[in-house]
Structure 1
Amino acid sequence: MDVAVFRLSKRPRTSEVIRYDLPDGYVEVTAGPYGMATVWDYDLVLMMISHMTEAMNRYRAGKGEKPGRLYRPHVSDILKFCRRGDGGNQASQIEGALDRLKGTTIKNVRERPSRNGRRIMREVEAEGLISRYRVLSRTASGKLTSVEIEAPRWLHLEITEGKHPDVLTVHPDYFLIDQGIGRIIYRQARRAAGRDQAVWAFRTLYERSGSTGTLKKFTEKLRGIIAANDLPEYHLEEQQGQKGPLLIMTNRAWLADPEGAGARRYRQRPVTNTMQAHARQKRAKGP
């Protein structure tokens, strides 16, 4: 999914809605009673995806069972995976994150004409970022030590039944990115650029980020991230397009390849219109 299904701020709000309009419908993300899940809360979903994907790879290789929807991690493993310390209230914050993930709902609405074209067929599906959770154990002082998380049906089906699962893996240093916008830019680079390069319009990134701020504020923060240029794996540059600024996202290994396409970079195919700015800009490898 290349739109944000969480808040980019660490201050979750209740009664918040993020809506993405599509050509044939829309996707709506709504907050639960504990507020909308944040991009940091979503780290737990990324860990669950990683666990299920590894289990599915073992199953396909004939070395294990097909993973179910239940995942039972120890809190110490969560903190280690998400690159968080084990001091202070880190463990207790996990329960709050699970509350927000459970309450945040993704509603997917699709509309299409019937076969005779006389009426519109409306398909609606809604599910949380996680289906449920429960605390399995605590220490004598009440500190959380292990939990059970149930993956939503759509996520489990994508990983276990999809012929080409759309699973986004992230670099371990992703969890050290402080800014929410920095995290969403890395995710878009990882999905769109992959091992080479992609070009996206600032406005498109803003529209897909779920940001509740203005485009102007988003642009200011994005330019700060470009200036720092310290995201894992990807080199960032700004280029002016016909209808506004563009972000060039380039895999550093591809860029450094002296014999491959990285040596030629994006100058070979400049972005000339909005459609190109929104689409993935693939580059042919060397002969």
Structure 2
Amino acid sequence: MADQERVSRKDKGPKQVKDTIGEALNKLKLAHDAIRQKRIDAIIQPGESQQEAADRLRKQEQLESQNRAEHHPKAPTSSASIRKPPKGDEQSDFFIPTLYDVGTRDSRSIMDVAVFRLSKKDRRAGDVIRYELPDGHVEVSAGPAGMASVWDYDLVLMAVSHLTEAMNRYREGRGEKPGRVFRPHVADVLKFCRRADGGKQKDDLLETCLRLNTTHVSMQRTRKAKNGRTVTISEGEALISRYKVIKGENGRLEYIEIELADWMFREVVDGKNPDVLTVHPDYFLIDPGIGRFLYRLARRAAGKSNAKWSFQTIYEHSGSASAFKEFCRILRKIIDSNDLPEYDLREEAGQKGPQLLMTHRSTVTLNPASSDGV
């Protein structure tokens, strides 16, 4: 009877994003296979077998990757923005779901400003970054353990990606509605984030969870209410609401349990068309923090087209602690490498200083219209 009561209580508890890694990965693989099959069906030619179409699609994808490398050659390795993937990074024997990022927070994009530090060395413990907005401001404050970094945020991207996949299955009637708790194995985290599977990398995840939990993002906005009155709304939350790490007998981390911030969870699960953006998997291989921020900015502002931002605006939105001159030096180094996923980068002269034109590589026009972020 006691066992039955324990089972009953367990069944009534909140569902995690992933109850078990194996079960969730199997479900995600089935969804991935279905998407892959749709792509094959879309290109299959009369008289061609499914296998022949699948082989042709794979070769086409390989050629597209090679074409990008040939037409956008990397600068010497010392100045490249993309690091080499770790050993065992091949995904043929391990399913990785589509990578997603949350697009907005209450109609204000967090991809337009950095809610984390971009430096690997400067921990910025106790620092506060303030971004002035037309209708208010955003503040990012760090705890004594340091401000969460753009690399720490990879764990959030993984949780959002699995949550989005789970919600897609739920909307299609193929699964239960997920909750805010995400509990992956440490090895799966490193695999997803395309990092080496070493002891130090696993141990570092404990500090990652701590920084994410103690980096607070607050926002204040002024807007018109339905009754015509002007109201000011202030709200704030940490990048993750809580965390727990589980170590094995050898003292090594085995599992991580995090609870997504409520606003991120609601952004994914509420509404029929959540504002989440797909992100290129090579994003994880971008080495400089500024490079990662540029990709996020381009993905949000340029999309499949292009966008133009002044160096000064990018600097202000990055929250960088470096001097503007040093920031521009690093920015131009990334532009010269021009090896970020999906986007071409080009510097242009502007009335108020240098500007960065970000153009999606699928866009082929002589005079692209720009979305000016100056």
Q: TM-score, normalising length from structure 1? A: 0.86
In 1, Cα distance between equivalents of 2:270 and 2:256: 26
Equivalent of residue 189 in structure 1, options 269, 280, 298: 298
The Cα shift of 1:45 comes to: 0.5
The Cα shift of 1:96 comes to: 0.3
Tell me: CA distance 1:111–1:97, structure 2 relative to 1, closer, same or farther (3 Å). same
Q: 2:287 maps to which residue?
A: 178
Equivalent of residue 36 in structure 1, options 147, 155, 171: 147
Tell me: CA distance 1:116–1:72, structure 2 relative to 1, closer, same or farther (3 Å). closer
Q: 1:277 maps to which residue?
A: 372
Tell me: CA distance 1:239–1:146, structure 2 relative to 1, closer, same or farther (3 Å). same
In 1, Cα distance between equivalents of 2:295 and 2:175: 32
Q: 1:155 maps to which residue?
A: 264
Per-residue CA shift, 1:160-211, capped at 9, x if unaligned? 0044322233211111111000000011111111122221111111111111
Aligned pairs for 1:64-143 within 5 A = 64-112=175-223, 121-135=231-245, 137-143=246-252
In 1, Cα distance between equivalents of 2:224 and 2:347: 41
Aligned residues: 262
In 2, Cα distance between equivalents of 1:268 and 1:174: 25
Q: 1:247 maps to which residue?
A: 356
The Cα shift of 1:112 comes to: 4.4
In 2, Cα distance between equivalents of 1:238 and 1:104: 33
Quick check: 241-250 or 26-35, which moved more? 241-250
- Any idea what SS the aligned residue of 2:237 has? strand
In 2, Cα distance between equivalents of 1:65 and 1:139: 30
The Cα shift of 1:139 comes to: 2.2
In 1, Cα distance between equivalents of 2:343 and 2:315: 19
The Cα shift of 1:268 comes to: 4.8
Q: 1:238 maps to which residue?
A: 347
The Cα shift of 1:90 comes to: 0.4
In 2, Cα distance between equivalents of 1:202 and 1:151: 33
Q: 2:116 maps to which residue?
A: 6
The runs of at least 4 consecutive aligned structure 1 residues that moved more than 4 Å come to: 112-117
Superposition CA RMSD, Å: 1.8
Unmatched 5+ residue regions in structure 2? 1-109
Q: Is the 8 A contact 2:241 2:261 kept in 1?
A: yes
In 2, Cα distance between equivalents of 1:234 and 1:112: 35
Equivalent of residue 45 in structure 1, options 132, 137, 156: 156
Between the two proteins, what is the percent identity of the paired residues?
A: 56
Larger radius of gyration: 2
In 2, Cα distance between equivalents of 1:84 and 1:199: 32
Q: TM-score, normalising length from structure 2? A: 0.67
The Cα shift of 1:20 comes to: 0.7
In 2, Cα distance between equivalents of 1:20 and 1:56: 32
In 1, Cα distance between equivalents of 2:338 and 2:134: 34
Unmatched 5+ residue regions in structure 1? 256-261, 280-287
Q: Is the 8 A contact 2:307 2:373 kept in 1?
A: no
Quick check: 86-95 or 105-114, which moved more? 105-114
In 1, Cα distance between equivalents of 2:359 and 2:228: 47
Q: Is the 8 A contact 1:246 1:277 kept in 2?
A: no
